[in-house]
Amino acid sequence: MEQKLRTLLFDTVKPNHLEEVARLMRYIEDGCPSGEPLFLSLGETWEHTPGALTKLLGEVPSYVHGYQLSMYGLPDCRQAVSTYLRRDHRLPLSSRQGVDYEVGMTWTGTRNAMYDFGRLLKDQYFKRGAPAFITAAPGWDYVGVFGPLGFKGMFIDLPKASGFMPESASFTESIEKSSKQKQLLIINAQHNPTSINWSPVFVRDLIRLGLAKSFAILIDDAHFGVHDPDVTPTSALRILLEELPNFPKYRQPWFATRSFGKQFSVNGWGLGSLVSSPDTLDLFANTYRTQHIYNYGGAQQYALSRWLNTDSATEFLRKRNVEIAANKRHLVRAFVDRFGYPESEVFPGNCTNFLLFSVPPAYAAIPTGVKVFLQDFLGYGIILTDAWPKPYDSPAEEGTYKCIRMYAGASAKTVDALIGRLEKYGFHYTMSAAH
């Protein structure tokens, strides 16, 4: 792993400005004093990509190596993804019950697609007043996407005391009290970083509220396919399509993204699905995308189209979900049985490949305790990150969560190495803060 990380990081220029990457580079430059670095912050291990999928890259036809002609993605891939989504989310057929939607592809990642959707909103619908978005906290870096476009964020707290379970009453109260300016409601039902699969009842209440308030709606299904084996992921997209006919006066744009990188370990391919009304998706794909990007990535799209709806893909995802769930159980038991944690301070959730845990009380008592904890862990060769929904490169308060996010999708061997290293260095819930 150390050599892989050196290959990916070291150049004559700084790779990026992420704090966790800077810590990782410092540790490697110091000679890895505690052993091979355990990089468990980014959500990437470079070790689970399915061979049956990558093998198809060697079988692609010549036409995929040039620019593509459709801004909706390689047609075969778009159609394969459409079939997959309809089955996986149990979506209605387009135009059934008055619902009309279209499916497209992104080959530059869903973050990039969200940014272009934000540009579309600002230009076409949010012309007056400062645009804003509403989402849950802690959460993903929506500030980093929509902040540069001038959007202000409103965060609705997920209560740590109840295991970060969302509460309809608090969301309703906060949204009802929000200003009347144009707003974007962001729903991440397989929630990053809390790993809670939001209930269908809660998601339906939230979508109904957004439609009644005429908010634009963004559904972020980054981790839809990643969940405990006994969990049925809540499809916010399906619920939205079911509810739209009940609000005939709703005219705001809605948009849904889903990453395939998270569930199939191909983050670097940048492949994901886009779903919206036909008019919105046409404006998005053929106006806003063409302003800054060509239609490429045909080889990866071709490979995905040949593999996505196969038994091989289904079995790969089943095994990965079993592995991630087992890792989470193993980590929870280690935190409780070996490291003295109350079970209420470890949050494995039931979806995504992340786990949260509280910093020890000695660190929680320090104003910058999360940052200090992360720095101290660097001495163990363990690189983690926090759970606060702010851009990593801007100063911000740590919030009331005082939690660390850990990637639980690594191999069982890596998880064992992590637990062993924590034991070796005396990690414990009652430990003193090193600084």
327-381: pLDDT as tens digits? 999 999 999 999 999 999 999 999 999 999 999 999 999 988 998 999 998 889 9
Q: Is 312 buried (19+), middle (13-18) or exposed (0-12) by CB count in 10 A?
A: middle
Task: Tell me the C-alpha distance between 131 and 147, whole Å.
Answer: 10
**pLDDT at res. 182:** 82
**pLDDT at res. 181:** 65
**pLDDT at res. 273:** 98
- Tell me: pLDDT of 263 over 50: yes
For residue 359, report the phi and psi dihedrals to the nearest 5 degrees: -70, 150
User: Residue 393 corresponds to which tokens in the numbers above?
Assistant: 């490169």
Mean pLDDT in residue range 386-401: 59
Task: Tell me the C-alpha distance between 402 and 386, whole Å.
Answer: 8
Query: Hey, what amino acid is at 90?
Result: R
Task: Tell me the C-alpha distance between 37 and 86, whole Å.
Answer: 41
- Tell me: pLDDT of 397 over 80: no
- Tell me: pLDDT of 228 over 70: yes
- Tell me: pLDDT of 72 over 80: yes
**pLDDT at res. 354:** 97
Q: Which residue has the tokens 């619920």?
A: 239
Question: So what CATH class is 62-309?
Answer: alpha beta
* 239/394: higher pLDDT: 239
CA dihedral 54, 58, 60, 63 (to 10 degrees): 120
- How long, in residues, is the chain? 435
**pLDDT at res. 393:** 43
Cβ pair 37, 28 in contact under 8 A: yes
Task: Tell me the C-alpha distance between 297 and 267, whole Å.
Answer: 13
Write a three-state SS string for the chain.
Answer: CHHHHHHHHCCCCCCCCCHHHHHHHHHHHCCCCCCCCEECCCCCCCCCCCHHHHHHHHHCCHHHHCCCCCCCCCHHHHHHHHHHHHHHCCCCCCCHHHCCCEEEEECCCHHHHHHHHHHHHHHHCCCCCCCEEEEEECCCCHHHHHHHHCCEEEEEECCHHHCCCCCHHHHHHHHHHCCCCCEEEEECCECCCCCCECCHHHHHHHHHHHHHCCCEEEEEECCCCCECCCCCCCCHHHHHHHHHHHCCCCCCCEEEEEECHHHHCCHHHCCEEEEECHHHHHHHHHHHCCCCCCCCCHHHHHHHHHHCCCHHHHHHHHHHHHHHHHHHHHHHHHHHHHCCCCHHHEECCCECCEEEEECCHHHHCCCCHHHHHHHHHHCCCEECEECCCCCCCCCCCCCCCCEEEEECCCCHHHHHHHHHHHHHCCCCCCCCCCC
**pLDDT at res. 395:** 42
Mean pLDDT in residue range 173-188: 86
**pLDDT at res. 394:** 44
Among 37-41, 126-130, 304-308, 354-358, the range scoring the smallest mean pLDDT is 126-130
Q: Where are the domains of the chain?
A: 2-49+313-424, 62-309
Query: Hey, what amino acid is at 153?
Result: G
Mean pLDDT in residue range 105-132: 93
For residue 21, report the phi and psi dihedrals to the nearest 5 degrees: -70, -40
348-363: burial string, b at 16+ Cβ within 10 Å, e else: bbbbbbbbbbbbbebb
Q: Is 148 buried (19+), middle (13-18) or exposed (0-12) by CB count in 10 A?
A: exposed
Task: Tell me the C-alpha distance between 334 and 183, whole Å.
Answer: 43
Task: Tell me the C-alpha distance between 195 and 345, whole Å.
Answer: 14
pLDDT-derived band at 283 (thresholds 50, 70, 90) equals very high
pLDDT averaged over the chain? 92
10-46: burial string, b at 16+ Cβ within 10 Å, e else: eeeeeeeeebbbbbbbebbeeeeebeebbbbbebbbe
pLDDT-derived band at 392 (thresholds 50, 70, 90) equals very low
pLDDT-derived band at 399 (thresholds 50, 70, 90) equals low
pLDDT-derived band at 73 (thresholds 50, 70, 90) equals very high
**pLDDT at res. 94:** 64
- Tell me: pLDDT of 396 over 80: no
**pLDDT at res. 44:** 82
% pLDDT > 90, the chain: 79
Mean pLDDT in residue range 61-84: 96
* 398/50: higher pLDDT: 50
pLDDT-derived band at 224 (thresholds 50, 70, 90) equals very high
Q: Is 137 buried (19+), middle (13-18) or exposed (0-12) by CB count in 10 A?
A: buried
* Residue 316, CB-side half-sphere exposure with 13 Å CA sphere: 19
Cβ pair 359, 402 in contact under 8 A: yes
Q: CATH 1.20.1260.10: does it fit domain 2-49+313-424?
A: no
Per DSSP bridges, beta strands 403-407 and 385-386 are antiparallel
**pLDDT at res. 47:** 84
pLDDT-derived band at 265 (thresholds 50, 70, 90) equals very high
